[in-house]
A = this chain, B = another copy of it.
């Protein structure tokens, strides 16, 4: 049923490359040195695949908390690379697929990459691709084995491939042997302390003099960029366009909504 599985997935295929930009919907805010260093390291890997003679295959795992910006970073690298083929393997496009259909879709993306001289394949949210749930735990071993093999399989002669995986569960990746199967693992952090203020300023969210108080209102020491952006947007409800968010409104949002 692998054959039929391949047939099943064809119509969904055209959409894969088109969606690349949609993963950076809210842009990339430069919130400081850690972000810049991480970006530079990632760009090194892209260059290695582009230029080295001995590294036809390089594989990197981006891990960090939910909403830290892993997917946006991977998509940004893909967009910057200008490689002829950049594809994101995401569960978004595979809801309700059977395990063989998923495995076939993933394998198909790699097949396509093997035919292109230079490619990036993003394995987005590997826990979701694996249908992982901590209760049990349960996951699709078929998908896991496919990933373990594909992440180590040399491309045909003359082809070059960068595989970028993203995951919010580094321990799960380690337990499954996936962390070891990648050449490199890089941590994508949440926004911390002073960096939060940098982001709030970049968004023009508060009166400059109130940014400190706004930061103090957050209970946690660090907050993922995605969540920070949502909090600001919720607080802007009812605030005239362009005007700063009043501090009371900000505190009300933080209190009423047990935001994840």
Q: How far is the CA of A248 from the CA of B240 in the complex (A)?
A: 53
Instruction: Mark interface residues in A179-206 (1 if CB within 8 Å of B CB, else 0).
Output: 1111111100000000000000000000
Instruction: Mark interface residues in A89-100 (1 if CB within 8 Å of B CB, else 0).
Output: 001100111101
Contact B48 A234 (CB under 8 A): yes
Contact B92 A153 (CB under 8 A): yes
Residues A260 and B185 in contact in the complex (CB < 8 Å), given A133-B177, A145-B131: yes
* A215 adjacent to chain B (CB < 8 Å): no
| Chain B residues, CB < 8 A from A145 | 91, 128, 131, 133
- In the complex, which of the residues B22, B44, B96 contacts A154, with contact meaning CB atoms closer than 8 Å? B22
Among A51-59, A73-81, A115-123, the stretch in contact with B: A51-59
Contact A103 B107 (CB under 8 A): no
Q: Restricting to A126-148, which residues have a CB under 8 Å from any CB of B? A: 128, 131, 133-135, 137-139, 141-142, 144-146, 148
Contact B91 A96 (CB under 8 A): no
Contact A182 B135 (CB under 8 A): no
* A219 adjacent to chain B (CB < 8 Å): no
Contact A97 B183 (CB under 8 A): no
| Chain B residues, CB < 8 A from A44 | 237, 256
A111 shortest CB reach to chain B, Å: 10
| Chain B residues, CB < 8 A from A1 | 98
**A contact residues vs B (CB 8 Å cutoff):** 1-3, 5, 8, 22, 25-26, 41, 44, 47-48, 51-52, 54-55, 66, 91-92, 95-98, 100-101, 103-104, 107, 128, 131, 133-135, 137-139, 141-142, 144-146, 148-150, 153-154, 157, 175-177, 179-186, 229-230, 233-234, 236-237, 256-260
- 10 tightest CB-CB pairs across the interface, nearest first? A96-B103, A54-B233, A131-B145, A91-B149, A184-B257, A41-B256, A92-B153, A185-B258, A95-B107, A2-B96
